[in-house]
Amino acid sequence: MTQEARVSTVVESLTKAPRNIAFPQKDGRPQLISEIFGQNVFSFKQMASRLPKPVYSTFLKQLRGNETIDKTTADAIAHAVKVWAMERGATHFTHWFQPQTDSTAEKHDSFLTLKSSFEKGFEEVECLDSLSGSQLLQSEPDASSFPSGGMRSTFEARGYTIWDTKSPMFLQEGPHGTSILYVPSVFISYNGQALDEKTVLLRSSEVLAKNALDVLDLIFDPENDVHVNQVHTSLGTEQEYFLIDRALYTLRPDLKITGRTLIGGLPPRHQQLEDHYFGKIPSRVLAAMSECEYELYKLGVPCKTRHNEVAPAQFELAPIYEEAMIAVDHNLLTMDVLHRVAHRHKLKVLFHEKPFKGVNGSGKHCNWSLTTDNGINLLEPTAKPEENYRFLLFLLATLKALEDHGDLLRAGIASASNDHRLGAHEAPPGIISAFLGDHLTEVLNAIEEDRPLKTFGAPEMQSVRVGGTVLDLKVATLPNIARDLTDRNRTSPFAFTGNKFEFRAVGSKQSVSFPVTLLNSAVASSLQEVAEALRKQKGDKQYATKEDQLAVIKQFIKITKNVRFEGDNYSDAWVKEAEKRGLPNIVNSYDAFTRLREPRNAEMLSRVGVFTNEELESRYHILMEKYAKDVRIEAQTLLTMVVQLIMPATFSYRKDLAQSASLLKDVEAGCEPELKVLKELTPILIDLQKAVATLETEIAATDDITDDIGALCKKSQATLLPAMEAVRSYADQLEGIVGDKYWPLPKYTELFLNI
């Protein structure tokens, strides 16, 4: 890595044209999204058309949890999907699962089967393409090489992947025009413990559905209500990411190894003009986004929105919401496809929550709600939320979940990378509170205070009660618009946005499975409490009347008041206020992870049947260990970069300055300017060397701790991070002084602008 490499890569990146693909055509026009969508998915519709009726109906019964798949059904489904896949060039299949690595895992098996016969007195081997029912249902990867948090040791390595029948199978491109059949799966240990992200998500969705149905049954008025048979969690994940030129990326060891820049100063212009958000999408980026969406449409991922985000080189992709487990699968596929397509465009996608110091980081907003089988969104306030008790009960149950287990939700989004974002002044802080907006706040206050709702138009209510109203823009040629029930509050970690909650503090890099599992579990638990309260009010009556419901609503308004906050979550005043309210402000991952062991949280998770204590303990271990490893990798990377790149570059500059100073002295031309710069550099270099020595010592000191994973995490955070920060501060000062042509690393300006 040299300064020449940097300069030539920068120049080269400027001449790169957008990549064009042959978009499929129909009737002389590009195919419509609806014509491409789901092409590579073995959908339930495909299944129904390819399976004998009784087989398909057994499958449906299994999906509803009423029956398990027998061997004949499994064989029939396996055969049908194999034929479908082979018609599309598949040679292999894979169980695709989600170990606790924030990404996915796969091992490919070919359809090849050998069959031997001895009919003519000698062995004859015939080869077939086959997929049996049992191969489809389960596979057995070695579990010992995946994170298990001590639940498995290498000598007891058996683990199973099992087909998750709710999530459709799909095809991905293989090499040389072939394809591979993907079978979405869960991953469990020999004893049935969850080793993955999906098993617990499925458990949490089931218990949430069950408890929601219980509440709905308790308030079911046969005269006026439609009966609900199923409830599911809806989830829409807005994925933020950075895209930079790939060649420039390869010149940054920190980005390559850790996903973020460990050195680098802000250029004079970055995001302060607020001109990137929703700006014109750069053409190379648009080409990549569009190809990515094309690939995702084929996989049935409903991409909806694409735009520039706030920071330079930052973008977002948002899909239409789906049932939670499908949405999680689809988000993981989205990250995978984005990564691969970016390569084809000579770009690099960065999913890290904070790749660049000083500009906004990336999140993955999780839009969450509950939907019934008859299409009702249980978090839809309707025009008169004050009369919609069902809505209020579900809203309050969600608030109660935050009130009781906010710290657990905080644990679900903690990581070494997201720490750089949470609590910084551009992301929701480490205090978990909910924003409801003026209107809903007024509704809850009025009910609590037993008074009529303040009416729209009253002077103190100018900003309230705007749901369903029309905004007159006072320009004759513009249409009037309908105003939403709530305004936005971008600073809240958990904001009610119209008819769903938006969990905004989730990190861009992580799988959303864990945070959603914890949220589902906490809400399932509070729905249990709501149900108990309703049961008590109802007594012997057939169902809980409106009065009964109102009594419960009042009770829950009181006990959830603490967690509601409408103001600026980034302000210091809120930190103080939250402290007064007793809300935890968890500013780092170590503190967050310890909340997994809180008896209150552990009891709840095991009561709702989502995590056994052993499974939870294993998460604690995995997360603590991952944190410590992540930070250590960063520390070592920084060390190498400073010693091998930054110091030598500075030495070269000093040498040239010294040589020219001595030459100038010889010709009596005056060498003060060169000497001045030299002298300025010397103390920084000395400080840098000292900081490097401290970092080395601290890295070595973390070697001492091997048996207590919590202590290792805590120590890594307390000692390595500040030591790295010190090294960086001197390195960044040098970047500002050392001649540009000596500097080996692409600078922020180049990374931001050269796409």
Report the run of H or E that residue 528 belongs to, with start and end.
helix 513-538
Query: In angstroms, rounded to a whole number, what is the distance separating the alpha carbons of residues 326 and 198?
Result: 10
Would you give the DSSP letter of residue 645? I
The residues in 321-340 that bind ligand ADP, with binding defined as CB under 6 A, are 321
Least CB distance to ligand ADP at residue 733 (A): 40
Distance of alpha carbon 631 from alpha carbon 743, whole angstroms: 26
**Is residue 147 a contact partner of residue 100, using CB atoms and an 8 Å limit?**
yes
Is the Cβ of residue 306 or residue 454 nearer to ligand ADP in the bound state? 306
User: Which tokens in the block code for residue 474?
Assistant: 């006072």
Nearest residue (CB) to ligand ADP, 147 versus 507: 507
Nearest-angstrom CA–CA distance, 515 and 518 = 5
Distance between CA atoms of 233 and 488, rounded to whole angstroms? Answer: 23
Shortest distance (Å) from residue 508 CB to ligand ADP: 15
Task: Note whether 253 binds ligand ADP by CB under 6 A.
Answer: no
If one asks whether residue 369 binds ligand ADP (CB under 6 A), the answer comes out as yes
Stretch that binds ligand ADP, among 29-37, 62-70, 229-237, 423-431 (CB under 6 A): 229-237
Output 298 or 500, the one with its CB closest to ligand ADP.
500
Least CB distance to ligand ADP at residue 379 (A):
7
Q: What Å distances lie between residue 233 and 210, 413, 515, 578, CA to CA?
A: 12, 19, 13, 30
What residue type is 514 in one-letter code? F
Distance of CA 675 to the CA centre of its chain: 51
CA distance 519 to 516: 5
User: Which one of residues 234, 569, 601, 618 is an interface residue with ligand ADP (CB under 6 A)?
Assistant: 234
Taking the C-alpha atoms of residue 547 and residue 555, their distance in angstroms, rounded to an integer, is 12
Number of residues that bind ligand ADP (CB under 6 A): 16
CB 375 within 8 A of CB 557: no
Query: What is the DSSP code (8-state) at residue 563?
Result: G
CB 412 within 8 A of CB 349: no
Region of 474-482, 497-505, 540-548, 736-744 interacting with ligand ADP (CB under 6 A):
497-505
- Under rule CB under 6 A, residue 367 binds ligand ADP: yes
Least distance to ligand ADP from the beta carbon of 319, Å? 5
Reduced to 3 states (helix: H, G, I; strand: E, B; else coil), residue 235 is strand
610 residue type, one letter: V
* Local structure of residue 654 (DSSP, 8 states): H
| C-beta separation of 377 from 246 below 8 A | no
- In angstroms, give the least distance from the CB of 497 to ligand ADP: 4
Give 196's strand partners: 99
Radius of gyration of the chain (CA): 29
Instruction: Specify the amino acid at residue 336.
Output: D
Single residue of 171, 313, 318, 608 touching ligand ADP by CB under 6 A: 318
Q: Is residue 141 near ligand ADP by the rule CB under 6 A?
A: no
String marking each residue 373-392 x if it binds ligand ADP according to CB under 6 A: ----x---------------
Question: Is residue 499 close enough to count as binding ligand ADP by CB under 6 A?
Answer: yes
CB of 321 to ligand ADP, least distance (A): 3
3-class SS string, 471-497 = ECCCCCCCCCEECCCCCCCCCCCEEEC
167 binds ligand ADP (CB under 6 A): no
Q: Are strands 169-173 and 159-163 parallel, antiparallel or unpaired?
A: unpaired
Q: Which of 264, 300, 319, 507 binds ligand ADP (CB under 6 A)?
A: 319
Q: Which is nearer to ligand ADP, 516 or 721 (CB)?
A: 516
Q: How far apart are CA 589 and CA 598, in angstroms?
A: 15
Mark the segment that binds ligand ADP (CB under 6 A) among 263-271, 393-401, 492-500, 608-616. 492-500
C-beta of 533: minimal distance to ligand ADP in Å?
26
Q: How far is the CB of 238 from ligand ADP (least distance, A)?
A: 6
Closest contact distance (angstroms) between CB of 244 and ligand ADP is 25
Among the listed residues 258, 497, 525, 637, the single contact to ligand ADP using CB under 6 A: 497
Backbone torsions φ then ψ of 347, nearest 5 degrees: -120, 165
11/320 with CB nearer ligand ADP? 320
Reduced to 3 states (helix: H, G, I; strand: E, B; else coil), residue 223 is coil
Q: With binding defined as CB under 6 A, does residue 62 bind ligand ADP?
A: no
Interface region with ligand ADP, contact rule CB under 6 A, candidates 92-100, 200-208, 316-324, 419-427: 316-324
Stretch that binds ligand ADP, among 40-48, 62-70, 151-159, 494-502 (CB under 6 A): 494-502
Q: Which residues pair with 323 in a beta bridge?
A: 234
Using DSSP, state whether 170 is helix, strand or coil.
Answer: strand
Min dist CB 306 to ligand ADP, Å, is: 12
CB closer to ligand ADP, 302 vs 355: 302
Question: Of 303 and 610, which CB lies nearer to ligand ADP in the complex structure?
Answer: 303
Closest by CA to 189, choosing from 149, 155, 154, 148, is 148
Stretch that binds ligand ADP, among 231-239, 243-251, 268-276, 682-690 (CB under 6 A): 231-239
Chain position carrying tokens 């618009």: 481
Piece of the chain touching ligand ADP by CB under 6 A; list 232-240, 277-285, 595-603, 688-696:
232-240
* Sequence-ordered list of residues with C-beta below 8 angstroms from that of 667, at least 6 positions apart, any chain: none
User: Shortest distance, CB of residue 370 to ligand ADP, whole angstroms?
Assistant: 8
Q: Does residue 363 interact with ligand ADP by CB under 6 A?
A: no
Q: Phi then psi for 192, rounded to 5 degrees?
A: 85, 10
CA–CA dist 370, 372 (Å, integer): 7
Q: Which stretch binds ligand ADP (CB under 6 A): 33-41, 363-371, 512-520, 583-591?
A: 363-371
Residue with the shortest CB distance to ligand ADP: 236
Q: Between 205 and 497, whose beta carbon lies closer to ligand ADP?
A: 497
500 binds ligand ADP (CB under 6 A): yes
Only segment of 16-24, 200-208, 361-369, 731-739 that touches ligand ADP (CB under 6 A): 361-369
- Binding ligand ADP by CB under 6 A: which of 14, 33, 320, 471? 320
Residues that bind ligand ADP (CB under 6 A): 234-236, 238, 318-321, 367-369, 377, 497, 499-500, 502
